[in-house]
Structure 1
Amino acid sequence: MRDLDETDVEILSLLATDARRPFSEIGERVGLSGPAVSDRVTRLEETGVIEGFTVDVDRTKLRGGVPVMVDVDLAVDAGADSDSEPLEAARERLRDANPVEHVFITAEGDLRFYARVEGRTVREWLSGTFEGVPVDDWTVTLVDEVEWTPSIDGVEFALTCAECSNTVDSEGETARIDGEVYHFCCSSCLSRFRDRYQRLEEGA
């Protein structure tokens, strides 16, 4: 199966939001004609990426990576007064890691994070990410399903994509760019936002 390009991913995102959306409308959003969008959707159905009228997306066939929860066992230096330095060093690495979406620090000071990484390179990616950080070991758990409903004092609210203003659900992405945190509904929007941000910086 050929790799999905950004246009395929954007079409999937639009169909996932509204499976009854006309191909002509999708074409206007992605810069293609209605028939060209229809051809792409047919190919996605034939390759098994789209299953059924409601657009059941098999995300293992996308480039988004495999969702994992990682528990990090930080090394404790017996000669140190506090283990905050290894923790801060690990958190700093995770802030700069694109696959990482959420980082958690427990009341006991343990480090846990959720990320989407390439399934065949999870261990290799972890080794590279924490190179030079005092880590004894880590435990990787494959996440089967994620449900994320953000709320404040029990009142649900919706995040909007910084690029297209669509609602960001549990499959969205979060990125820290120049110290600011932005939320995106898909990887395509994140890429377009990064590219435009970089062009604006270069022109400044």
Structure 2
Amino acid sequence: MRELDETDLEILTLLGEDARRPFSAIAEEVGLSGPAVSDRVTRLQEAGIINRFTVDVDRSQLHAGIPVFIQVTGVDDVDELRARIGDADAVEHLFVSADGAIWFYARAQVQNVRRWLDGLLDEDVDYSVTLMDDVEWRPSLDGTEFALTCAECNNTVDSEGRSTRLDGQVYHFCCPSCQSRFEERYNRLEEGA
């Protein structure tokens, strides 16, 4: 496995700005050929760094509901509520803070936001609603350093590292012994399930 470099970061930044940008246009900006960019993107996908390409729809142009930002506190089962909120069609972004508060941005599809939230949230949680005037989502890779971490020991994976795919999921390892320990434990768990 070759280490990730600044060119990979530039490619990711350009794809983040426009996932439909042709590889030839990216190649001009990063000083590579189109096929070399294609190879790097394929490698980033295989490594699990790029998971999918998507579209960013400006829902305000579609009149798709009332934009709200909601903070939920006093949650007993954060994971259960997070899953329920994440499954709601109107929710676009979901965040969980270190103290267990849930924040989410949604476009409520009804005129009565409180009624919509009462159907979505538990009665015993506290929440606050902020009506949004404008929203701009700008994912950035600034300040990002590439450091794949070993799935077994959490050490940094360097050029001597290895990767493997188990049941469709890519795992990275710093050394063959970490890979072997992880795969043995994974197989034992699979057999016991």
Q: Which has the higher strand share?
A: 1
Computing the radius of gyration from Cα coordinates, the structure with the larger value is 2
Same fold (TM over 0.5): no
